[in-house]
Amino acid sequence: DAKTTQPPSMDCAEGRAANLPCNHSTISGNEYVYWYRQIHSQGPQYIIHGLKNNETNEMASLIITEDRKSSTLILPHATLRDTAVYYCIGFNAGNMLTFGGGTRLMVKP
């Protein structure tokens, strides 16, 4: 599994875009980049994933660099309910997720 590195914490103003970076320089060619978030003490919630191309869904956008060594999760208009810990994960074909420490995003009014 690719080791991922994320900043431990970030702040974002409500209504602004939240850009959460992730480094995954050891990611292999068949590993997807997955993003999950965990709000308070709830179970992790899937957000988005991608392999090479940028992806967008109703929750977020995922920008993956061309060399696939890093990616950025974008929440276009952060709300207070987006305050959570965000996990970037390199996902292997064996279908096991390895969670690191994540980024604690605090959205402030």
Partner 1 sequence: NAGVTQTPKFQVLKTGQSMTLQCAQDMNHNSMYWYRQDPGMGLRLIYYSASEGTTDKGEVPNGYNVSRLNKREFSLRLESAAPSQTSVYFCASSDTRPQHFGDGTRLSIL
Note the residues at the interface with partner 1 (CB under 8 A). Answer: 32, 34, 36, 41-46, 49, 87, 91, 95-102
Residue 32: closest CA among 85, 68, 81, 73: 68
Residue 35 or residue 78: which is nearer to partner 1 going by CB?
35
Minimum CB separation from partner 1 for residue 107, in Å? 20
Q: Least distance in Å: CB of 36 to partner 1?
A: 8
- Nearer residue to partner 1 within complex by CB, 5 or 16: 5
* Phi, psi (degrees; rounded to nearest 5) at 4: -110, 150
Residue closer to partner 1 by CB (options 15, 57) is 57
- What are the angstrom distances between the C-alpha of 79 and each of 3, 15, 17, 34, 59? 29, 6, 9, 22, 12
Minimum CB–partner distance for residue 70 and partner 1 (Å): 19
Q: Which residues partner with 48 through β-bridges?
A: 35
